[in-house]
Chain A
Amino acid sequence: MKRIVTGAHYGLRDWLAQRITAVVMAIFILLLAAILLISPPQDYASWKAIFSDRWMRIASFLFLVSLFWHAWIGMRNILMDYVHATGIRLTLQILVILLLLFYAIWSVEILWAVELAWR
């Protein structure tokens, strides 16, 4: 019997993306934990010094983008499992996407405002 596969084709890609973003985040978190443990920032200046490093900002942004991507896959899986009315599910999924896009723009503002203030 010939089996016809229908439906979503993003399953494997998302499964893999969920895991790759998880590994990226885990590496960044261990790195950050090491930085914070070796020399715990005590005041505003020391926090700012950490994020005034360009590579720290890029790494932080990579972490946050991984976080938002990871959150999208996770939230979509949850919504697919528990919200069966298509209209409501689609509305909620769009809301999640918009919220994550908003967070991404906010992240850029937070991280690169430091550079503007630093100069």
Chain B
Amino acid sequence: MDPINHRSLITILRQSFDETLAAITTQEKASINVVERTTIEAQEFKTVICSIASSTFKMNMLLHYSNSDAVIDSFFDTIKSDIRGDKKNQYQDYISELVNNLCGTANRILGYAGFSSGMSTPATLNISNSTKHMEVIAPDSEVHIGCFLEGEPLFFGSLYLFINKGFESSLILKIPEAAAECEASGELEFF
């Protein structure tokens, strides 16, 4: 595992979560920490996946979440939006939009670093052990973080890097500098 790429993946994942959570939650309640994959594997989660692809690499971003009533209540207690209609349906929609925003932020950071990449729309995986499935397709690097509310896990994020054949020795993601320069989201840019 290349240490520069590993650090870059942590930066991308952490900044994506920081920016997105700052926009949707009352931030003082939420904290984000790097975790080991085993922390995620120890629990039962549903997973939403979104991919970023370029000519030299592919990234899979996964959001692992519980849809227990207790977690959903904690979640809606923390976000800024109103609840309208069925809480579980809205939670599912919110999770998909969250992954869309996380992947969009990651793709924007990669753009600032000079990579030309496109992203997919989020999809829910109908499997219970998504990290095992990712292991089977052999990523070149992976990082995981957890989002905690007052010490209790709310959801976890994983970012997997797959370097396209032939670029294994040459692809170096120089992300920390790019992430610092990356403009914040949410501003209205006039044309």
- The answer on A and B forming one complex is no
